[in-house]
Amino acid sequence: MKGLWAFPVAAALLLSAGTAHSQASYRSAPIGGRSALMGGTGVALARDGSAPFLNPATILHIDDSGVAFSVNFFSSQWTTLSGFHQPGAVDSARYGALSLPATDLQASRLDPLPSTLCLFLTLGNWGDNLTGSDPEPGRRKGRRKLATCLGTLEREVFTASGVYQGGSAGVTATQASAVSRSWNRLYVGPTYSVYVSDAVALGASLHGVWTTASSTWGIDTLVHPAAGASTASFYDTSTNASSLDLTAMLGLVWHVDDAQVLGASLSTPTAHVQGSYSGTAALQSQGGPFGSSSLVTSTGSFAAPAPVRVAVGIGEELHRLRLEADASAYLPLPYIARADLSTQEVTTSALGAGRGGTSTIQIQGHPVVDAAFGVEYFLSRGLSVLGGASADFSALDPLPATLAPGALEESRMQRVGASFGIGSYGDGNELLFGTELSYGWGRSAAFDAFADPPRLTLVDQRTYGVMLVIAGGVSLTAVRRTIRDLGSVVKLPEPK
């Protein structure tokens, strides 16, 4: 039985391929309410919680000290994996002329997304403004600002489950599937910026980057022929990985004139601190003259360096109109993710054996350029409309038709989005509300239980998304003023 020989080999292969991973889609999480509603722009004109992560020099655009932003993102997604339940040609020697109908797997989810959290502090003036007095109108030199922020810049979550039954040529197949994978990258650290002249500001951020990844597969397949013995296969995996790294970002803002603003930022390669990986995979076959089962466990180190990004943005601030166009180039890294593993395999079959060893697996990538455009038009001093569009392309190399031993990647997706919303502004506070519509397309892994040997292969994936954005900001000056006004209205009774 050729298939029984292949089960231990397939188990070892599939464990390596089971790791959750980034699609190397570096703009996969929104940051900042205004930035999200203006197509993810902000390299030149950021003035919310996106500033420390897009261009640290732009935190000087936030005027008041102690500005606090609250952002809530709610996302709905509808995903289709084409041919998931029968992703490839059937091994006719074992399953005959089986051709299953309607094999797509569909999934939907609604969940809140993590957002940025920042505190901005205005420092005493530097340089020509040592007295700390208010600068002259139009005078910027010496202004300084410090911020401390945390934000999720990358996030990919996919979950799907279902029971499928279909058949043809006298053969019926039943499959229960449950797949869950996630990738999350959190940045936390301080940002500092200063105007070195009235036209030029420089800034820098230092961030700790915590990357977590997980993946769980459960695919149980039963095949019932009209005549003969039934067969079954069971594929179950669970993996978890994390990586802690340090990175820095440098930024520049240049006010070309009273309306035009040029922004640029550069992130440095990361310094890896520590990381860990653990995983298990079990694959069983039942039916026929023999049965086979294999259990593989792997532990080791894991590294997922943050991308090196060069970004430029052009902004225009007119009387009623703000425009911005950004381009971000992500430079190639030695690897996108890497795991150094120690593996143990235990196999039970007529020709079973146990073995162990070490291996190194990693994801390769290539340079990618993303673009974004945003606009804000003020209908009045306190009301505006916002809109934008963006592209998020994957830095992963194209995936092979069959995932090779040691592959970490499970999907490769591209995404485009369009956003629109409204903004309301008062004395020291703001409120923004809107939505982003997105479409993603690419390839995703699926387990082919009807091949000999069973393996991970690829199917087409399409995802439609709707994200709701609710964002607001308030300055400490406005809070203090409100408290003072309340105190003047509410008077405590005189003690007797």
Q: Tell me what pLDDT residue 493 has.
A: 57
pLDDT-derived band at 10 (thresholds 50, 70, 90) equals very low
Q: Tell me what pLDDT residue 58 has.
A: 95
Q: Tell me what pLDDT residue 285 has.
A: 79
In the block, residue with structure tokens 């030149």: 44
pLDDT digits (tens, 9 = 90+) for 352-385: 566 778 888 888 888 999 999 999 999 998 999 9
Q: Tell me what pLDDT residue 131 has.
A: 46
Q: Span 101-111, mean pLDDT?
A: 88
Domain residues for the domain of 136 are 2-489
The count of domains in the chain is 1
Integer Cα distance of 412 and 441 in angstroms? 8
pLDDT-derived band at 136 (thresholds 50, 70, 90) equals low
pLDDT-derived band at 38 (thresholds 50, 70, 90) equals very high
User: Which one has a higher pLDDT value, 129 or 67?
Assistant: 67
Cβ 23 vs Cβ 442: under 8 Å: yes
Q: Tell me what pLDDT residue 13 has.
A: 41
pLDDT-derived band at 474 (thresholds 50, 70, 90) equals confident
Cβ 64 vs Cβ 468: under 8 Å: no
Cβ 152 vs Cβ 112: under 8 Å: no
User: Is pLDDT above 50 for 233?
Assistant: yes
Q: 184 in a domain, yes or no?
A: yes
Integer Cα distance of 236 and 14 in angstroms? 10
Q: 310 in a domain, yes or no?
A: yes
Q: Tell me what pLDDT residue 203 has.
A: 97
Integer Cα distance of 326 and 44 in angstroms? 8
**Mean pLDDT of all residues belonging to the chain:** 83
pLDDT digits (tens, 9 = 90+) for 55-98: 999 999 887 655 666 788 888 999 999 999 889 888 877 777 78
Share of the chain above pLDDT 90, in %: 43
- The CA distances from residue 147 to 66, 70, 151, 199, 355, in Å, are 9, 15, 13, 21, 53
By DSSP bridging, strand 321-331 and strand 337-348 are unpaired
Q: 496 in a domain, yes or no?
A: no
Q: Span 114-118, mean pLDDT?
A: 81
Q: Tell me what pLDDT residue 23 has.
A: 59
pLDDT-derived band at 15 (thresholds 50, 70, 90) equals very low
Q: Is 223 helix (H, G, I), strand (E, B) or coil?
A: strand
- Planar angle of CA 168, 171, 172, nearest 5 degrees: 90
Find residue 165's DSSP bridge partners: 174
pLDDT-derived band at 3 (thresholds 50, 70, 90) equals very low
Q: Collect all residues with Cβ–Cβ distance below 8 Å to 304 and sequence separation of at least 6.
A: 22, 185, 211, 213, 241, 243, 245, 275, 336, 337, 338
Percent composition of the chain: helix, strand, coil (DSSP 3-state, to 5): 10, 60, 30
Is the sign of the CA dihedral 437, 440, 445, 447 positive or negative?
positive
pLDDT digits (tens, 9 = 90+) for 152-209: 999 888 899 888 988 887 888 899 999 998 999 999 999 999 999 999 999 999 999 9
Residue 6 corresponds to which amino acid?
A
Q: Tell me what pLDDT residue 134 has.
A: 52
Structure tokens at 271: 């310094």
pLDDT digits (tens, 9 = 90+) for 437-452: 999 999 998 888 888 7
User: Is pLDDT above 90 for 20?
Assistant: no
CATH classification of the domain holding 196? 2.40.160.60
Q: Span 101-120, mean pLDDT?
A: 86
Q: Span 310-325, mean pLDDT?
A: 95
Give the H or E element holding residue 11.
Answer: helix 2-17
Q: Collect all residues with Cβ–Cβ distance below 8 Å to 188 and sequence separation of at least 6.
A: 149, 150, 151, 207, 208, 210
Q: Tell me what pLDDT residue 476 has.
A: 65
Q: 495 in a domain, yes or no?
A: no
Q: Span 201-219, mean pLDDT?
A: 94
**For the chain, what is the radius of gyration of the CA atoms?**
27
Structure tokens at 97: 């002329």
Q: 171 in a domain, yes or no?
A: yes
Residue 294, exposed/middle/buried by CB under 10 A (0-12, 13-18, 19+)?
A: buried
User: Is pLDDT above 70 for 4?
Assistant: no
Q: Is 280 helix (H, G, I), strand (E, B) or coil?
A: strand
Q: 135 in a domain, yes or no?
A: yes
Torsion of CA 122, 128, 133, 135, to 10 degrees: -80
Q: 219 in a domain, yes or no?
A: yes
